[in-house]
Amino acid sequence: MSSPLRVAVAGATGYIGMQCVSLAAAHPCMELTRVMGRSHAGERYCDAVPASSVTLPIEDTLEPDSAQVIFAALPHTVAASHAARWLSAGATVIDMSADFRLHDAAAYAVWYGIDHPAPALLEESVYGLVELHREALRSADLVAVPGCYPTATLLACAPGLRAGLVELDVVVDAKSGVSGAGRSPGLGTHFAEVNESVHAYGVGGHRHKSEMLEQLTAVSGGEVRLTFVPHLIPMTRGILATAYLRPVAGVTHAALEAAYRDFCSGEPFLRYTPQPPATKTVAGTNVAAVHCGWQDGMAVVTVAIDNLVKGAAGQGVQACNVRFGFGEATGLDLAGLWP
């Protein structure tokens, strides 16, 4: 493009919105023109988010104006209520919520307990996991960025399922840092409640399971059965997903590992590791670290990501890069934090 892409971030002071602002402000092909958010409206962004050098005023509006891309880091249903207007104004919408991840409005109502505000747009959306939907994203005007749990889970399960090497009955144990719950304070993320403690939740069925099932069914060509249990752990960033996959008869560890190595090969943000990865190794980056292990005839696949980058804002920027023909890694050459 001859001039930078004009970018606005809606919901700019939440954790995902902050990451979007940081990435857009540093992106060589983007111009961050607007930051929008109700709770700090009227303040300079750097005053509301002290780690930022962005001096734009925070606007109490969701009007698109001249933005060519809107990164929407808003609560569920809010983006859906505004997306049609944003699209009509000519903006490409990169939505970080769950509003457009499902193509079935009835399934959305079941899992989210409310009728979808814009069901007609569901068929237009493209699921923003680049490694699975790169070609479709090249012409997408409405991108549904996957959740952080689904990102790690799909990267753990899709290679084996797509190659037909594992059974369609999948078990995933996943653990998340507290930032995945968002910035709004609550008892469930209070320091004294979560520190030095780990607990499972959503045991009866986490709402992100619906998008996982839709994607896994599409990639496998069959009806997948998924048992998914998330856990909250006392760290700020990170997702670690461990998938237990039963190989079909005759499939060896070597064959399955080769499929995962092949899946990661050539992908700028997938890294196959010789040992199960730790979340610390990918903190602050858009990298997903993948390992395919083996125990008594069962494949044990682990994936580590940063939930705010590859699990949210970084994935959105990656999809935006594909959409507008930039180098896929542009603006995402982020150095990890170690130790």
192-232 pLDDT, tens digit per residue, is 999 999 999 999 999 899 999 999 999 999 999 999 999 99
Q: Based on the residue annotation, tell me whether 148 is a catalytic residue of this protein.
A: yes
For residue 140, being part of any structural domain is answered with no
Q: At what angle do helices 148-162 and 253-264 cross, to 10 degrees?
A: 120
pTM: 0.97
Alpha carbons 223 and 184: distance in angstroms, whole number:
37
Is the pLDDT at 264 greater than 70? The verdict is: yes
Percent of the chain with pLDDT over 70: 100
Banded model confidence at residue 337, pLDDT cuts 50, 70, 90:
confident
Amino acid 188: pLDDT: 87
> What CATH number should be reported for the domain holding residue 112?
3.40.50.720
At which residue do the structure tokens 């959503």 appear? 202
Choose among 106, 107, 157, 98: nearest CA to 128: 98
Does residue 23 carry a pLDDT above 90?
A: yes
Q: What is the mean pLDDT of residues 71-93?
A: 96
The burial of 303, by beta-carbon neighbours within 10 Å (0-12 exposed, 13-18 middle, 19 or more buried), is given as buried
Statement to judge: residues 276 and 199 lie in one domain:
yes
DSSP conformation class of 335: P
pLDDT for the residue 339 = 82
Distance of alpha carbon 144 from alpha carbon 130, whole angstroms: 11
Candidate list 20, 148, 157, 320, residue with the active-site label: 148
pLDDT at residue 32, rounded to an integer: 98
Domain count, the chain: 2
Residue 320 is assigned to a structural domain of this protein:
no
> 115 lies in which domain range?
5-124
198 lies in the same domain as 267: yes
| Same domain as 87, residue 165 | no
Same domain, yes or no: 67 and 110: yes
How far apart are the C-alpha atoms of 60 and 111, rounded to whole Å? 30
Integer Cα distance of 292 and 108 in angstroms: 32
Q: Are 165 and 270 contained in the same domain?
A: yes
206 and 251 assigned to the same domain:
yes
Residues 119 and 251 occupy one common structural domain? no
Q: Please give the mean pLDDT across all residues of the chain.
A: 96
Looking at the fold, whether 153 and 110 belong to one and the same domain comes out as no
Round to whole Å and give the CA distance between 237 and 6. 29
Closest C-alpha among 17, 190, 60, 212 to residue 132: 212
Q: How many CB atoms lie within 10 A of CB 84?
A: 16
> What CATH number is attached to the domain comprising 210?
3.30.360.10
| Domain contains 14 | yes
Q: Please write the tens of the pLDDT for every residue from 110-156.
A: 999 999 999 999 999 999 999 999 999 999 999 999 999 999 999 99
Domain membership of residue 218 (yes or no) is yes
Give the tens place of pLDDT for each residue, 291-318: 999 999 999 999 999 999 999 999 999 9
pLDDT at 1: 64
Domain match, 9 and 95 both: yes
Cite the DSSP H helix spans in the chain: 15-26, 45-48, 78-88, 105-112, 130-137, 148-162, 191-194, 209-220, 253-264, 314-323
Residues 6+ apart with CB under 8 A from 259: 159, 160, 163, 165, 292
Whether residue 18 is found in the same domain as residue 72: yes
Do 94 and 194 lie in a common domain?
Answer: no
DSSP letters along 96-156, please? -SSTTT-S-HHHHHHHHSS--S-GGGTTT-EE--HHHHHHHHTT-SEEEPPPHHHHHHHHH
Q: Is residue 175 part of a domain?
A: yes
Is residue 138 domain-resident? no
Q: Position of tokens 């890069």?
A: 321
Cα distance between residue 134 and residue 161, in whole Å: 18
Question: Residue 162 domain-assigned?
Answer: yes
332, 318 contact by CB (below 8 A): yes
Same domain, 227 and 299: yes
Is residue 277 in a domain?
Answer: yes
Cβ-count burial of 224 within 10 angstroms (0-12 exposed, 13-18 middle, 19+ buried)? buried
- Mean pLDDT, range 33-40, rounded to an integer: 94
